[in-house]
Amino acid sequence: MAVCSKLRRLCARFFRNVLWNPASLLHTFLLGSIYVSLACSRTVLIKLSIRDGGYEYLPVTVNFFAELFKLSICCSLYVHLLLCKEGKSASEIFSVSEIKWHQLFKWAVPGLLYFCDNLIGFYILLHLSAAVYILMQNFVIISTAVLFRIILRRKLNRVQWASLLILFLSIVSLSNDQNELHPEHRERIQRAIIPTEGYFLGSEDGRNVLGRLKEAMGSPNISDGGRNIVGTVRIGEAHILVMVQCVLSSAANIYNEKIFKESGGMEDSILLQNTKLYMFGVFFNTATLFLRPEFRSTALNCGLFYGYNRHTKLLIIVMAFFGLTVAFILKFRDNMFHVMANQLTNVVMITSSVLFLDFHPTLRFFLTAPVVLLAIYIFNAGGKNEVTYFKEKGDTLV
């Protein structure tokens, strides 16, 4: 009996201090593994849902249902907690007079930023392969570091700034790789420019083809007979969109972590905090869906589920749990844990792209990808080495 009692106490202590303790190593491993799995699954499912170089469905509806799913989960769990655990009545829970409006509306900022971040991702993946997209998303390290420096006054040493510059140049170089185009887009454009240089430049039909390409895709340089159309069209749009998305993502995560933890936020339930956040997520997606005439027309005439396939339906669930995982990371870890988890996503996503998405890396990709990962390693190691140096010297980092 004494042995059984002692064993029960040990099991209870393990369950309390390891499985349910957010600071435990096992909790960290599970949180990181879940994040990497969902991040890769989200990107793969978006690519698999593309049909004939585009989306048959409205991406904003996927965001809407994912936000609604997250809101339903967090709100129902929080109401159940108040009713069953704390014994509050329904009138107390849903009383409008108890709402602190100034605290509620601060969640509108990350709600808007996450809405833009998620929507931009759909349009980037129309032009980039999944592997190149994941690697280019490492620009988030640069945007996070700069925002940390501006907002939180965190200083970076010269080694870290140099590594960020190398990372930025590597990402720019990576964006010139023609293999980053979606295979369907590349094949369609190559079929369009297969005719000879004389046909394009010397015939009226050829000039009409180039005119339509320029109108639909930008203003490519045709001085070489159309051979540079692919590279010229794609670079600006894809590169700028990735940078914009990374800045939005960094700002959203930094601000979200701040309001998760400030003013006693760690004592507040994450269910309540997420409920406030996802309320604004649903609002912004709904507003976009009905304020844009083309979106509103498609939704009213064809329904919100128009163009959905099995990948799209699974994508809604994956995006919902991905958002919940990010919330747990920002609540119980920090932004740097989130950024580092993205590095594992790089390895898994590149491997998955080669195995399942018919991605054929070029020589430039093979040369540039290690430079990106090496720059990330130098950035992290540079900060640790300087902290160690100053500790040994008994000085402070300025």
How far is residue 292 from each of residues 83, 185, 235, measured CA to CA in Å?
A: 40, 26, 27
Proportion of the chain in helix, strand, coil states, percent, rounded to 5: 80, 0, 20
Report DSSP letters for 65-96, one per residue. Answer: HHHHHHHHHHHHHHHHIIIIIS---HHHHT-G
Cβ 53 vs Cβ 182: under 8 Å: yes
- Look at residue 231 and tell me whether its pLDDT is greater than 60: no
pTM, two decimals, is 0.72
- Look at residue 51 and tell me whether its pLDDT is greater than 50: yes
Average pLDDT over residues 9-27: 54
Question: pLDDT for 112-135, tens place per residue?
Answer: 999 999 999 999 988 888 888 888
pLDDT band at residue 30, thresholds of 50, 70 and 90? confident
Q: Which of 363, 289, 327 is nearest to 77 (CA)?
A: 327
Average pLDDT over residues 323-350: 83
Cβ 128 vs Cβ 238: under 8 Å: yes
Q: What pLDDT, on the 0 to 100 scale, is given for residue 379?
A: 76
Question: Computed from CA positions of residues 119, 120, 126, 132, in that sequence, does the dihedral angle turn out positive or negative?
Answer: negative
Non-local CB neighbours of 24 within 8 Å, separated by 6+ positions: 17, 18
Report DSSP letters for 110-152, one per residue. Answer: HHHHHHHHHHHHHHHTTTS-HHHHHHHTTHHHHHHHHHHHHHS
Question: Does 219 or 305 have the greater pLDDT score?
Answer: 305
CA–CA distance, 281 with 294 (Å, rounded to integer) = 21
Q: Which of 92, 123, 64 is nearest to 290 (CA)?
A: 64
Q: Which residues pair with 95 in a beta bridge?
A: none
Structure tokens at 16: 């309390």
Percent share of the chain, pLDDT over 90: 30
Number of H helices, E strands in the chain: 18, 0
CA–CA distance, 99 with 121 (Å, rounded to integer) = 34
pLDDT-wise least confident of 136-140, 225-229, 305-309, 324-328? 225-229
Question: pLDDT for 169-217, tens place per residue?
Answer: 877 776 655 444 444 444 444 444 344 344 344 445 444 544 544 444 4
Average pLDDT over residues 218-231: 38
- Look at residue 328 and tell me whether its pLDDT is greater than 70: yes
Q: What pLDDT, on the 0 to 100 scale, is given for residue 144?
A: 83
Average pLDDT over residues 324-348: 83
Question: pLDDT for 136-173, tens place per residue?
Answer: 888 888 888 888 777 766 777 888 788 888 877 877 77
Q: Which of 323, 294, 308 is nearest to 69 (CA)?
A: 323
Q: What pLDDT, on the 0 to 100 scale, is given for residue 9?
A: 61
Q: What pLDDT, on the 0 to 100 scale, is given for residue 268?
A: 85
How far is residue 213 from each of residues 78, 183, 191, measured CA to CA in Å?
A: 53, 17, 12
pLDDT-wise least confident of 42-46, 64-68, 257-261? 257-261
Q: What pLDDT, on the 0 to 100 scale, is given for residue 168?
A: 79
- φ and ψ at residue 54, rounded to 5 degrees: -160, -175
Question: pLDDT for 286-316, tens place per residue?
Answer: 999 989 999 999 999 999 999 999 999 999 9
Neighbours of 246 (CB within 10 A): 22
pLDDT band at residue 221, thresholds of 50, 70 and 90? very low
- Look at residue 227 and tell me whether its pLDDT is greater than 60: no
Question: pLDDT for 77-125, tens place per residue?
Answer: 988 888 887 767 666 666 656 667 778 889 999 999 999 999 999 999 8
Q: What pLDDT, on the 0 to 100 scale, is given for residue 394?
A: 47
- Look at residue 29 and tell me whether its pLDDT is greater than 70: yes
Structure tokens at 165: 């510059």
pLDDT band at residue 234, thresholds of 50, 70 and 90? very low
CA–CA distance, 228 with 364 (Å, rounded to integer) = 17
